[in-house]
Amino acid sequence: DERSIPARAFTRAFRRARAMDLHTTIHAGEADGPASVFDAITHLHVERIGHGFRAAEDPDLVELLSRRGIALELCPTSNVATGLISSIEEHPARALYDAGALTTINTDDGAFFDTNIEKELRLAHERLKFTREEVRQMLFHSAGAAFIAGTERRSLAREIRRVSDGAMTTKGGLPRKVSSRRP
């Protein structure tokens, strides 16, 4: 609960995780405002922000996210389902992407919110007006932000390229099904 327990309360735990060479992410900028994203960056030094869409309310914060290459794990369906955003079209994913934030599209809890990555990518394309190439770029952002070894990241990027190259030549421009093969 980012409102009740601020990020700085976890400073010691995150410092310890980084000392153990663990990657770090936290929910911020979802139920609470942009200050929670700023605190996650400055107190916890995270590599990714779960949700983080409220960062769009602060252009300086978006610039900081961009400069540091901190990925935002955006989950449009989840944010609408929880009532944090009134409609998909009002989701700030487009504004964050256009402002240079490292945006990724995600499902949050796919079973709970009755979604999957294919649905989320289609929403991004059809209702948030991302072009096919921009959706593809966000997939590459996801690969770059994945907490996996460099060889696995390169393999994932190759798989994204392979699937999306084929999809770019078909009607609709987005893959019908992403390979379930793990890198």
Alpha-carbon span 137 to 169, nearest angstrom? 16
Q: Please report how many Cα atoms fall inside a 13 Å half-sphere around the Cα of residue 77, on the Cβ side.
A: 20
Catalytic annotation, pick one of 30, 47, 134, 152: 30
pTM above 0.75, yes or no: yes
For residue 62, count CB atoms less than 10 angstroms from its CB and return exposed for 0-12, middle for 13-18, buried for 19 or more: buried
Residues in the chain predicted with pLDDT less than 50, given as ranges, are 171-183
For residue 116, count CB atoms less than 10 angstroms from its CB and return exposed for 0-12, middle for 13-18, buried for 19 or more: middle
Give the relative orientation of helices 117-126 and 132-145 as an angle to the nearest 10 degrees: 140
Cβ(64)–Cβ(41) below 8 Å? yes
Task: Respond yes or no: is residue 133 known to be catalytic.
Answer: no
Percent of the chain with pLDDT over 70: 91
What pLDDT was estimated at residue 167?
A: 64
The sheet carrying 25-28 orders its strands as: 25-28, 48-51, 71-74, 102-105
129-180 pLDDT, tens digit each: 999 999 999 999 999 999 999 999 999 999 999 988 876 555 444 444 443 3
Structure tokens, 69: 């290459």
Report strand pairing: 48-51 vs 102-105: unpaired
- Cβ neighbours for 88, distance < 8 A, ≥ 6 positions apart: 76, 77, 80, 123, 127, 128
Alpha-carbon span 165 to 168, nearest angstrom? 5
Alpha-carbon span 44 to 86, nearest angstrom? 30
